[in-house]
Amino acid sequence: MTTQSYSSKTAPYFAGIRPEMLAFVPAQAKRVLEIGCGSGEFGAALKQEFGAEVTGVELFPEAAETARTRLDRVIVADVERDALDLPPGHFDCLVCNDVLEHLVDPWTVLRNLRSYVQENGTLVVSIPNVRHHKVVRHLVWPGEWRYEKSGVLDRTHLRFFTRKTACEMVESAGFRIERVEGINRSSFPVWLRLANWITRGGFEDMRYLQFAIVARND
């Protein structure tokens, strides 16, 4: 992940509380490591809701500077290149909200980050769903895969995942998955509602822009 890939991003891109993801963080989490903390809104919400101590890692110095006013500690670093000055096994929760898809090798990064999570600690991940029905429809007809300013096909995304392959990545890093849920649900067109009914939910995963994954460090 490089700063150059974000050259077109503005401040709002790094902001956002992500209230839909708060419910996936264990209420008992007291030491949280958030990768890609942006301006710190999500971590600040964790501090307010759970009284957690939150350490953020952020690539962009400008966003990190704002995050420092909200979080307990913020490290400016590229998680693919820089060593993190953090104690092993210190955190009871690791949060990666829409960050893994921006990495060249998220599989290795996630394995490395696991070392900072205590035994029986929790991993919380939010990741875009490339099998979303709008992405698939445009790929089939008119045969387009067009990058956009934001969303599933954000032009800064380097890796793309379905529900299945996102879970495989988490498991390959040594975590045991406990919960997977689609978030940011969208409506199906009539033909896809019919196909989903005929297959008894075979296309249900295509409703969601993202998936939330909760896993345990066993």
pLDDT at 2 over 60: no
pLDDT at 17: 81
**Homologous superfamily, domain 12-129+157-186+209-216:** Vaccinia Virus protein VP39 (3.40.50.150)
Domain range summary for the chain, segments of one domain joined by +: 12-129+157-186+209-216
List pLDDT tens digits, range 150-177: 999 999 999 999 999 999 999 999 999 9
CB 116 within 8 A of CB 62: no
State how beta strands 73-76 and 91-97 pair. unpaired
Band of the pLDDT at 75, cuts 50, 70, 90? Answer: very high
List pLDDT tens digits, range 93-111: 999 999 999 999 999 999 9
Q: ω into residue 142 within 30 of 0, thus cis? A: yes
pLDDT at 213 over 60: yes
pTM to 2 decimals? 0.92
